[in-house]
Chain A
Amino acid sequence: MTPSGRRSTPDGGLTRRDFLAGSGALFLSGCLGAKRKRIEGEIVADARAHGHLLRGPLPTTPSRTVEVPVVVAGAGIAGLSAAWRLRRAGVEDFLVLELESSAGGNARWGSNAVTEFPWAAHYVPLPTRESVAVRELFRELGIIVGTDARGEPEYEERYLCAAPQERLFEFGRWHDGLYPSAAADAEDLAQLRRFRERMAEFRGKFAIPVERSSRGLLELDALTMRRWLDREGFTSPRLRWYVDYACRDDYGCTIDTTSAWAGIHYYASRPEDEEVVTWPAGIGWIARRLAAPLGRRLVTGALVARADGEGVDYLDTRTRERVRVRAKRVILALPRFVVQRVFPRTADGFTYAPWVVANVTVDRVPEGRGAPPCWDNVLRDGDSLGYVVATHQSLRTRPGPSVLTWYLPCTGDPASERAALVARPWEYWRDRVIADLRPAHPDIEERASRIDVMLLGHAMIRPVPGFVWGKSRAEAAARVGNVHFAHSDLSGLSLFEEAQYHGVRAAEEVLRAMGVRCPSLLG
């Protein structure tokens, strides 16, 4: 007798027939005039809207003054990492001032009845040997649980991104992996192989943190990624899409605006097919753990408005009071465009790509034709990057509700993109998200109950040609008297590891200045 896979339920849950019955029922109810389900949502208020206060007049005199040895402005990954470094060295007396109502910055997260979900950063690739401080943090947080026979870190399996990781929607179906391999011809594949070989040759010369990279290839920073692809004879449209996708995903730029150095860095700074760690809240999982021990030393709703060698002034966004924080050391863990306002410096060339992030609450992860749902679900057509599934790491075996985090980098001219962002109502973004996902998931409107949107006007620093290895970036990181700087902007690449590096670096500068002796975590 022919064996049948015992107990092999076809999709672990609803059968195709339920699906069919479901859509049939929906169709019928549609015909019978039943009301179409409404999708709720809003443009989530971004406290950075308070930013305009920076431009307006402040109350002239502080209504109170606090004194503290060290003050950190900004509780993104850089500011939180600075605090982490100070605490590891036994320095517990400091304040962290954050504009938003919670810490995180571009690692911030949200939650609803279904799950937590990221509002921006969602994963960290496994840290390389050079990312000493990241490995140290990961050990402390239980992400790295041991060392294997080869001396490489062992990771907690639950935090490693679960299989299946990535799929790409093309020609009406989902395909495994991100490289558009469906319909790739021999020439395409030959170029892909050659591209991978080229990247392997570069490996070792590009590092995370950027600071650890070899200085021998800086001429690549003068070219755009497209020029470099041209120069090397990489003409395959599939390969170009693949590389362009990486630039959009990591930098909010295209191959026309990313410097070849930054474009290659994406591939050459880590081993091929490196794994990542991720959580429902994205990197918010780490941010929350960094913020938790701060307790009341984390002051939220604090808009830092002025800084000088003796401290900072902030505006309490709730009481509208101006507060003076006198400190011996100041760490400005703020994006460069904010630093320019609170501690005016000349800093040319810092440009930012706006992003739109939408969190779509669905009653069940949409499947679509072809490869099964993955953590990262990318669409070949259109400008968006597709979506990440917040519940992917869940141990639940049955399909259930989830939140899909949809990403749209705005790769055009930043100022006009920003103007266009704010001009559009929520309905526009709702329709845009739906229209983007519908080809892959014709049922998306039925699945979705909420679409919340966040507009990030200055989401990512743009590594345009000449920026990463230019003068202003190098100068921006150098301390000015008692004022130190920390932020991923200072690397020219928006990466968790870079933000952490600069936070730790700035804290170690402060520790040294305070005469606290401790070995550097920067390797």
Chain B
Amino acid sequence: MKHALLVSVFVLATCGLVYELIAGAAASYLLGDSVTQFSTIIGAYLFSMGIGSWLSRYVGRGLIARFIQIEILVGVVGGLSSTILFVAFGQLPAFRLILYAVVALIGIGVGMEIPLLLRILKDQLQFKDLVAQVLSLDYVGALAASILFPIWLVPHLGLIRTSFLFGIANIGVALWTTWLFREHLPAARFFRVQGAAALVLLAAGFAGSAAISDFAEEGLYADEIIFFRTTAYQKIVVTREADDVRLYLNGHLQFSSRDEYRYHEALVHPGLAAVADPGRVLVLGGGDGLAVREILKDPRVREVRLVDLDPEMTRIFRDHASLSQLNGGALRSPKLRVTNADAFLWLEEAGDRYDFVVVDFPDPTNYSLSKLYTTSFYRRLARRLAEGGIAVIQSTSPLFARKSFWCIAETVRAAGLQAAPYHVYVPSFGEWGFVLASREAYRPPERFPEGLRFVSAATSRSFFEFPPDMAPVPVEANRLNHQVLVQYYDSEWKTINP
């Protein structure tokens, strides 16, 4: 009996530390900044354990029964903890609240374990041996957990299965205790049924979590999150560190407020300023309103049509104070009309023509997105270009994805348009490229709107010069039925970000 209970101490200690590590790891995966996450989680956890220890004094009679119930509770909550955290992060805005509630609940339960066990064991051992043995096993269990966790558990089982596994171990202790104390426990059967039910739940979770457990374990965000929303289309995260605000969509950086002006000035003005009378402008993608902000700097523009898939995106960049500050309230301009639609389908149906079109889509990482970079798409785009109109296409990096970049230029040409490729340097992205598409050959403008910080008549000429390491390479055009661009892009970025 005594040894049996000491084994339990070891198991419980391992479980307890594993839950803590899981919460810390999950929080740093999901929220970024592992130092802060780990220290606040550990702090909250230890504090909760303190509360638990203190609460244990209120457990009077039915010591064993209470102990078993706490084990079942800790097992279930701990076992489900990483599932709960991942679900909450995906679905609920109150993620931090849930995170700390889970940590507190487990912490309180775990905090009660050792005091209760000490009391259960107190008649079997001398006090000095009791404390020495229980506490040393507690620390050894913690050591085992902290070594197993990074070396074996996370790489082989992943967070979700690890937590189910230790939840199961925890319930195992509870069931074992019902057996050890079968003579002193009037309601043993009742607890066994409870324990068995919990065991089934966790075992099912363990088995069913195969799909969940291959979760990509990557630290996503480094800075403080100031805005977070899951929409029907994407996960929008805005972070801030000092004066640098960053937008991430599905974990991928869209801009950094420190240098986005370089990107957006370069995206808009070389094309826009070259159009004789850019009365009507179309923006495809770019729901953050930053391109619109640049467009509105040109007083000749009378109306802007913004087509972005995600209504949430355009709404928050219009209404959210710190976000609309970034685009200077561009999305509230009376000149602007917003349409939320899938760009390809919209282009197919729309009948209007535009003098200037900004095509600012995510990089062609997959077949769905690469459709937006095909000859078919550019042919439809050409139909929407007014006489003398120009379109500009964000075209990934000519340095890191040289073939992809030149493939986009080639595709524009294959669609029967002239292509004028150019590039600029944006510190947060590196060397970045764009392609101007028009029916007539492009002629660089002499004048640009007032107040630009990056683009000027003198510097803009150099944009069109490509040094040898970015010079054209032979590539095929990207077509719906042969999407070579996905393959180029995949192979090129893989060598940089394996």
Instruction: Give the interface of A toward B (CB within 8 A).
Output: 1-13, 15-25, 27-28, 30-31, 157-158, 160-165, 275, 372, 395-399, 442-443
- Nearest-neighbour CB distance to chain A for B36, whole angstroms, equals 20
Report yes or no: B497 in contact with A160, Cβ–Cβ below 8 A.
no
A230 to B250, CA, bound (A): 53
Known: A9-B250, A398-B368. 11 other contacts (CB 8 A): A3-B496, A4-B497, A7-B249, A10-B365, A17-B90, A18-B90, A24-B90, A25-B90, A162-B371, A163-B480, A395-B376
- 30 A-B pairs whose Cβ atoms sit less than 8 Å apart in the complex: A2-B496, A2-B497, A3-B399, A5-B396, A6-B396, A6-B397, A6-B429, A7-B363, A7-B394, A10-B252, A17-B86, A18-B230, A21-B89, A23-B211, A27-B83, A28-B83, A28-B87, A160-B481, A161-B481, A162-B483, A163-B480, A164-B367, A372-B367, A395-B345, A395-B376, A396-B344, A397-B343, A397-B344, A397-B372, A399-B368
Given the interface pairs A27-B209, A157-B480, A397-B368, the reply to whether A21 lies near B342 with Cβ below 8 Å is no
A256 to B157, CA, bound (A): 46
- Nearest-neighbour CB distance to chain A for B456, whole angstroms, equals 24
CB-nearest residue of chain A to B234: A9
A15 to B218, CA, bound (A): 13
Within 8 Å by CB of B252, from A7, A19, A20, A31, lies: A7
The interface residues of chain B lying within 8 Å CB-to-CB of A162 are 367, 371, 480-481, 483
A22 to B211, CA, bound (A): 11
Counting chain B CB atoms within 10 Å of each CB, the highest count among A12, A23, A160 belongs to A12
Report yes or no: A163 in contact with B432, Cβ–Cβ below 8 A.
no
A158 to B482, CA, bound (A): 12
B322 at the interface (CB under 8 A from A): no
Within 8 Å by CB of B493, from A5, A23, A28, A372, lies: A5
Report yes or no: B252 in contact with A21, Cβ–Cβ below 8 A.
no
A20 to B84, CA, bound (A): 11
Within 8 Å by CB of B374, from A6, A7, A18, A157, lies: A157
The interface residues of chain A lying within 8 Å CB-to-CB of B83 are 24, 27-28
A18 to B232, CA, bound (A): 10
A255 to B428, CA, bound (A): 59
B251 at the interface (CB under 8 A from A): yes
Report yes or no: B309 in contact with A1, Cβ–Cβ below 8 A.
no
Report yes or no: A372 in contact with B366, Cβ–Cβ below 8 A.
yes
A398 to B394, CA, bound (A): 19
Report yes or no: A8 in contact with B87, Cβ–Cβ below 8 A.
no
B186 at the interface (CB under 8 A from A): no
Q: Which range contains the number of B residues in contact with the other chain? A: 35 or more
Within 8 Å by CB of B342, from A9, A372, A396, lies: A396
A430 to B431, CA, bound (A): 53
The interface residues of chain A lying within 8 Å CB-to-CB of B234 are 9, 13, 15
**Top 6 closest A-B pairs, CB basis?**
A21-B90, A7-B362, A160-B481, A3-B430, A395-B344, A12-B368
- Nearest-neighbour CB distance to chain A for B323, whole angstroms, equals 17
Report yes or no: B481 in contact with A3, Cβ–Cβ below 8 A.
no
The interface residues of chain A lying within 8 Å CB-to-CB of B372 are 397
Report yes or no: A27 in contact with B205, Cβ–Cβ below 8 A.
yes
Report yes or no: B363 in contact with A6, Cβ–Cβ below 8 A.
yes
The interface residues of chain A lying within 8 Å CB-to-CB of B204 are 30-31
Report yes or no: A17 in contact with B376, Cβ–Cβ below 8 A.
no
B179 at the interface (CB under 8 A from A): no
A151 to B93, CA, bound (A): 61
CB-nearest residue of chain A to B249: A9
Given the interface pairs A12-B368, A397-B309, the reply to whether A1 lies near B427 with Cβ below 8 Å is yes
- Nearest-neighbour CB distance to chain A for B55, whole angstroms, equals 28
A1 to B427, CA, bound (A): 8
**Which residues 145-168 in B have Cβ within 8 Å of A in the complex?**
160
The interface residues of chain A lying within 8 Å CB-to-CB of B427 are 1
The interface residues of chain B lying within 8 Å CB-to-CB of A397 are 309, 342-344, 368-369, 371-372
The interface residues of chain A lying within 8 Å CB-to-CB of B160 are 24
Counting chain A CB atoms within 10 Å of each CB, the highest count among B211, B234, B251, B482 belongs to B211
B176 at the interface (CB under 8 A from A): no
Report yes or no: B235 in contact with A6, Cβ–Cβ below 8 A.
no
Report yes or no: A24 in contact with B429, Cβ–Cβ below 8 A.
no
B454 at the interface (CB under 8 A from A): no
Report yes or no: A21 in contact with B483, Cβ–Cβ below 8 A.
no
Report yes or no: B212 in contact with A24, Cβ–Cβ below 8 A.
yes
- Nearest-neighbour CB distance to chain A for B441, whole angstroms, equals 24
CB-nearest residue of chain A to B363: A8
The interface residues of chain B lying within 8 Å CB-to-CB of A372 are 366-367
Report yes or no: A9 in contact with B376, Cβ–Cβ below 8 A.
no
Report yes or no: A157 in contact with B91, Cβ–Cβ below 8 A.
no
Report yes or no: A1 in contact with B430, Cβ–Cβ below 8 A.
yes
The interface residues of chain A lying within 8 Å CB-to-CB of B345 are 395-396
Report yes or no: B480 in contact with A17, Cβ–Cβ below 8 A.
no
Report yes or no: A20 in contact with B367, Cβ–Cβ below 8 A.
no
Report yes or no: A6 in contact with B208, Cβ–Cβ below 8 A.
no
The interface residues of chain A lying within 8 Å CB-to-CB of B230 are 18
A10 to B235, CA, bound (A): 12
A369 to B327, CA, bound (A): 40
Report yes or no: A23 in contact with B483, Cβ–Cβ below 8 A.
no
Report yes or no: A9 in contact with B369, Cβ–Cβ below 8 A.
yes
- Nearest-neighbour CB distance to chain B for A137, whole angstroms, equals 20
Report yes or no: A16 in contact with B211, Cβ–Cβ below 8 A.
no
The interface residues of chain B lying within 8 Å CB-to-CB of A9 are 234, 249-250, 252, 362, 365, 369
CB-nearest residue of chain A to B204: A31
Given the interface pairs A157-B375, A397-B372, the reply to whether A27 lies near B250 with Cβ below 8 Å is no
CB-nearest residue of chain A to B427: A1
**Which residues 84-105 in B have Cβ within 8 Å of A in the complex?**
84, 86-87, 89-91
The interface residues of chain A lying within 8 Å CB-to-CB of B361 are 7
Given the interface pairs A3-B429, A6-B432, the reply to whether A15 lies near B250 with Cβ below 8 Å is yes
B242 at the interface (CB under 8 A from A): no
Residues 361-392 of chain B: 1 if any A CB is under 8 Å from the residue's CB, otherwise 0? 11101111101101110000000000000000
Report yes or no: A31 in contact with B86, Cβ–Cβ below 8 A.
no
A386 to B378, CA, bound (A): 34
A4 to B362, CA, bound (A): 12
Residues 459-498 of chain B: 1 if any A CB is under 8 Å from the residue's CB, otherwise 0? 0000000000000000000011111001001000100110
The interface residues of chain A lying within 8 Å CB-to-CB of B376 are 157-158, 395
